[in-house]
A and B are shown apart, each in its own frame.
Chain A
Amino acid sequence: MSDLNNRNLKPAAADSEPGMPRRDFLKAAAGTLATLALSGCTKEAIEAFLQKHFQELSPEELKTVVARLERECQEKQGVKVSISTKAAAPGVLFGAGLDLSRCIGCRRCVYGCVKENNLSRNHQIQWIRVLEQEKAKGVNLEDANPYYDPKEVPREGYFYIPVSCQHCRRPPCVKVCPVKATWSEPDGIVVVDYNWCIGCRCCMSACPYGARHFNWGTPSVPSKHLNPRMHYFGNRPRPRGVVEKCTFCIQRTREGRYPACVEACPVGARKFGNLLDRKSEIRQIMERKRVFVLKAELNTQPTFYYFYSL
């Protein structure tokens, strides 16, 4: 997989790759069926319907797919976008930290994430959920409240826990997916192939962190607010009826940048880095602070660590 940022806008050639006769036959058969079923549909729609699983796409096919997705987005939104497919760098395992003694529950991260990741605005989806908890009760999710709306935060006597995808090393959501539409990348990011997901929502039931979100309606982002720098697994436009989730801002972090939530946090409570690098910020936190993970008893082994710096 190479970086396909250099866009290939040639119209997709008819599928005629040699070497896979069975697939070709099936493809042809399915194609005919699809044409019959969706008569009136464009060639693009049929191509999208028959798109292969991401991990089975050859580099050329991937190029075609990405070009089609970019074209589709451009036609729909009128914005020139680039969809990267940059793969994980070797020797990298991403980890995130969240300083519970600093977080004030201002939700800047939530909206920074929405902005960066082109999250649906009308049928609202937010990958981060900030929970307000009473200090007197400690960390107890049953008493958490995501709908707090005071004039100012932090409220006296309360603390705040932002929760999003914990990017587990043993993700229960991946195991249950019936079609392998979601998996753990080598750098630890749990990704979803939006074009392969069938929308059964098994993963949502399996996720202990409420981190997976479903496109109940057709997602929409106003064109002028669309972030044109996209990644295949990240903030590219999603179809309706598929599951999406935090990707550690894959379009940023694979380019070396911090995730949007980290940069939006006004108190610097959010930390991010390479868990395999002893000098990284996240490892320094683990060396010097006591960290904990949510629902450790489930043995999901998150790479998202909560800690108290004070």
Chain B
Amino acid sequence: MKKYSLYILLPAFIVISILAMVNEIRKGHTLYHEEWAHAGVVAHSPEEYPAVFDFDPLAGLQTNAGEIHLPPPPLQKETWPCSQCHDKDTSNPERRVLSAAHEEIVLKHDEEHRWCLDCHDFADRDKLHLASGEKVSFEESYRLCGQCHGPTYRDWRLGIHGRRTGYWNGSKSYLLCVHCHSPHEPKFKPLTPLPPPLRPEFLRGQDSAKETQ
């Protein structure tokens, strides 16, 4: 008995190890952050979202000479130029709820204190005006925004705020404030996120992962 203890213990040990190993391999995974267990099961690629990447970052950049390119303001053909409708002397400068036109515009931009003509010029409808009364074009609307949003305006000019494309050491395209922030409702609109990464459990494909599940 003493002499052959090894021949009992050793096989027992081997059997236990094999059983443990087999058990582990068959058990499968528990997914991390299981509230999103449906996500990250298949691999997605950028080609599924052509609209997202349908832009030319170098558009409008003529040279690599360091110029700043500002795209035109996002004015709509139906309403621009404003003077095509607002050319009558019958305009009403009173603050009121609009009913005849522009009902769709709901001002959510310090609306308690302001209304249209605080920014849009009454006399020249195709212009905006600063607090000083100086008229500015829609192309320069950032000067108007900058009156209240001083630090952000400064950051934007320095390239800290806002998206820039082009060359880090040369010509760049900026965006105007209004390209991202509707002046009437400036909060950045939520976006649908692109899909999460593939979970490591599914790298070999969904089927192989199912086998272990």
- A–B touching in complex (CB under 8 Å): yes
B33 to chain A: which residues have CB within 8 Å?
A: 145, 147-148
A115-B46, A149-B196 known; A256-B164 Cβ under 8 A: no
Q: Which of A104, A268, A309 has the most CB of B within 10 A?
A: A268
A124 to chain B: which residues have CB within 8 Å?
A: 43, 45, 197-198, 203
A108 to chain B: which residues have CB within 8 Å?
A: 52, 191, 194
A145 to chain B: which residues have CB within 8 Å?
A: 33, 36
Q: Which of B158, B168, B204 has the most CB of A within 10 A?
A: B168
Nearest B residue to A148 by beta-carbon distance?
B36
Least CB distance, B149 to chain A, in whole angstroms: 11
| A111 touches which of B53, B166, B169 (Cβ 8 Å) | B53
Q: Is the CB of A114 within 8 A of B195?
A: no
State the 10 A-B residue pairs at the shortest beta-carbon distance, nearest first.
A268-B163, A281-B159, A149-B39, A124-B43, A152-B190, A111-B46, A107-B194, A115-B46, A124-B198, A268-B162
Give complex CA distance A280, B168 in Å: 8
Nearest B residue to A289 by beta-carbon distance?
B160
Q: Is A29 an interface residue (CB 8 A)?
A: no
Nearest A residue to B202 by beta-carbon distance?
A124
Q: Is the CB of A284 within 8 A of B160?
A: yes
Give complex CA distance A104, B39 in Å: 18
Least CB distance, B65 to chain A, in whole angstroms: 11
Give complex CA distance A285, B155 in Å: 9
For chain B residues 163-199, which have a beta carbon within 8 Å of chain A? 163-170, 175, 180, 188, 190-199
The range of chain B's interface size is 35 or more
Least CB distance, B190 to chain A, in whole angstroms: 4
Q: Is B7 an interface residue (CB 8 A)?
A: no
B57 to chain A: which residues have CB within 8 Å?
A: 257-258, 263
Give complex CA distance A115, B44 in Å: 12
| A268 touches which of B44, B161, B166, B170 (Cβ 8 Å) | B161
B168 to chain A: which residues have CB within 8 Å?
A: 253, 256-258, 272-274, 280-281
Q: Is the CB of B203 within 8 A of A216?
A: yes
Interface residues of B (CB under 8 A from A): 32-33, 36, 38-40, 43-47, 49, 52-53, 57-58, 64, 155, 158-170, 175, 180, 188, 190-199, 203-204
Q: Is A288 an interface residue (CB 8 A)?
A: yes
Give complex CA distance A257, B45 in Å: 23
Q: Is the CB of A114 within 8 A of B46?
A: yes
Least CB distance, A66 to chain B, in whole angstroms: 24
Give complex CA distance A108, B164 in Å: 15
Least CB distance, B194 to chain A, in whole angstroms: 4
Interface residues of A (CB under 8 A from B): 99, 104-108, 110-112, 114-115, 121-124, 126, 129, 145-154, 216-217, 222, 225, 253, 256-258, 262-268, 271-274, 277, 280-281, 284-285, 288-289, 309
B199 to chain A: which residues have CB within 8 Å?
A: 147
Q: Is the CB of A147 within 8 A of B193?
A: no
Give complex CA distance A110, B52 in Å: 12
A258-B168, A267-B188, A281-B164 known; A146-B196 Cβ under 8 A: yes
Q: A124-B198, A271-B160 are in contact. List 9 more A-B contacts (CB 8 A).
A: A104-B188, A104-B191, A110-B194, A152-B192, A256-B167, A257-B57, A268-B161, A273-B168, A281-B164
A274 to chain B: which residues have CB within 8 Å?
A: 168-169
Least CB distance, A18 to chain B, in whole angstroms: 41
Q: Is the CB of B158 within 8 A of A288?
A: yes
A147-B32, A147-B33 known; A122-B43 Cβ under 8 A: yes
Give complex CA distance A146, B195 in Å: 10
A271 to chain B: which residues have CB within 8 Å?
A: 159-160
Give complex CA distance A145, B39 in Å: 12
Least CB distance, B130 to chain A, in whole angstroms: 24
Give complex CA distance A266, B55 in Å: 12
Q: Is the CB of B193 within 8 A of A126?
A: no
- 10 contacting pairs across A/B (C-beta < 8 A): A115-B47, A124-B43, A124-B45, A147-B32, A149-B193, A153-B193, A256-B64, A256-B168, A274-B169, A280-B168
